[in-house]
């Protein structure tokens, strides 16, 4: 299986997750400069913002970086046009049908890496000539599917011949090593990078993430087929209680959730906002430079793989 480093021209097989209201040019450039593949998120953003962030990122790094398009966005076609004009190295696509976007991006010389939640869609994306795929387990933060990362690695990787980047629950070098041994081309990391110095997420949220223990995530929106994982707090626990009480309509639940990600991540309201984060929380111990986080992950991955050679079966 080809390594994602070969596909994207990066040093380490680590992609940064595209997190709405968080993944900006500064953060993306920090990841790329540290050897990974940074990503600018377009979720909830205007076309002007996307153009400005791509141009800004190009001034901050000469390494490859990508842009994430959320396919539920009403302005996705306009954002696609901006991306084709500005030409980042690659694009990840999630929360919708990526197939119509593959050809125009390829025509602009941009690599395409859709995010998929199951074997069927992985095969469909391969048939439509994507350069690689991200396969995300339910351990991830934000919008999630129903299968775990281990189950997806077991079932998706043997079924396709394009590089498979695994996501969901990866926060250290042992996880990266395990994914590579399972045949993955690399991993996508989001939550661990939230405590990087270069991450613009509010300091209040960074502190909550550092304080969190392994059982501190909660899933909201399951009953309306819009499951989102985040940190337990006043909002998420009250929302989940309302959701399962049957006393709110789908529309009321969607309205109650709208804007809560930005409220936590940007404004720092860690009680009434939704702090989107994945399940692997205990490796988040302090705020430190992105380069230090990535180097520590790579060092641990190399040590883990070296030790694996000594295992006798």
Q: Please check whether residues 194 and 92 belong to one and the same domain.
A: yes
Q: What is the pLDDT of residues 14-64, one digit of tens each?
A: 999 999 999 999 999 999 999 999 999 998 899 999 999 999 999 999 999
Nearest to 160 by CA among 203, 114, 197, 193: 114
Do 168 and 194 share a structural domain? yes
C-alpha 303 chain-centroid distance: 25
Average pLDDT over residues 198-226: 96
**Structural domain of 119:** 7-200+284-306
Model's pTM, two decimal places?
0.95
What's the rounded Cα separation, in Å, for the pair 289 and 143?
27
The 10s digit of each residue's pLDDT in 51-60 is 999 999 999 9
Contacts of 299 (CB under 8 A, 6+ apart): 173
Co-location of 125 and 243 in the same domain = no
Q: Are residues 251 and 290 in the same domain?
A: no
Domain count, the chain: 2
Do 255 and 111 lie in one domain? The reply is: no
Q: In the prediction, which pLDDT does 43 show?
A: 87
Spatial neighbors of 251 by CB under 8 A, at least 6 apart, are none
Residue 299 host element (H or E): helix 290-308
Give me the mean pLDDT over the 66-75 stretch.
92
Model confidence at 2: pLDDT above 80? no
Percent of the chain at pLDDT exceeding 70:
100
Q: Are residues 212 and 249 in the same domain?
A: yes
* pLDDT tops 70 at residue 1: no
194 and 221 together in one domain: no
pLDDT at 181: 96
Averaged pLDDT of the chain = 96
The band of 194, judged by pLDDT with boundaries at 50, 70 and 90, is very high
278 domain residue, yes or no: no
What pLDDT, on the 0 to 100 scale, is given for residue 72? Answer: 86
| 263: helix, strand or coil | helix
What confidence tens digit (pLDDT) does each residue in 141-189 have?
999 999 999 999 999 999 999 999 999 999 999 999 999 999 999 999 9
Together in a domain, 117 and 223: no
From CA 53, how far away is CA 94, in angstroms rounded? 20
Total H helices, total E strands in the chain: 13, 11
């Amino acid at each position: 299986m080809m390594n994602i480093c070969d596909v994207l021209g990066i040093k380490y097989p680590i992609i940064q997750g595209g997190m709405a209201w968080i993944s900006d040019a500064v953060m993306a450039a920090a990841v790329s400069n540290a050897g990974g593949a940074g990503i600018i998120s377009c979720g909830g953003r205007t076309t002007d913002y996307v153009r400005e962030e791509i141009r800004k990122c190009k001034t901050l790094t000469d390494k490859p970086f990508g842009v994430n398009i959320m396919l539920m966005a009403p302005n996705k076609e306009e954002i696609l046009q901006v991306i084709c004009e500005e030409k980042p190295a690659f694009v990840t696509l999630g929360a919708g049908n990526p197939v119509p976007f593959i050809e125009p991006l390829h025509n602009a010389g941009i690599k395409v890496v859709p995010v998929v939640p199951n074997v069927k869609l992985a095969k469909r994306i391969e048939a439509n000539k994507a350069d690689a795929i991200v396969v995300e387990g339910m351990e991830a933060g934000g919008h999630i599917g129903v299968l775990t990362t281990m189950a997806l690695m077991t079932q998706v990787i043997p079924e396709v011949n394009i590089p498979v980047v695994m996501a969901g629950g990866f926060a250290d070098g042992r996880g990266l090593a395990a994914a590579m041994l399972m045949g993955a081309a690399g991993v996508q990391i989001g939550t661990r990078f939230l405590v990087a110095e270069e991450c613009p997420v509010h300091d209040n949220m960074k502190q909550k993430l550092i304080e969190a223990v392994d059982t501190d995530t909660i899933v909201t929106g399951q009953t309306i087929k819009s499951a989102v994982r985040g940190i337990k707090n006043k909002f998420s626990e009250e929302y989940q209680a309302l959701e399962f009480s049957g006393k709110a309509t789908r529309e009321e639940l969607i309205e109650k959730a709208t804007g809560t990600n930005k409220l936590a991540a940007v404004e720092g309201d860690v009680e009434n906002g939704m702090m989107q984060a994945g399940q692997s929380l205990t490796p988040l111990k302090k705020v430190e430079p992105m380069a230090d986080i990535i180097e520590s992950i790579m060092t641990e991955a190399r040590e883990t793989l070296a030790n694996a050679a000594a295992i006798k079966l």
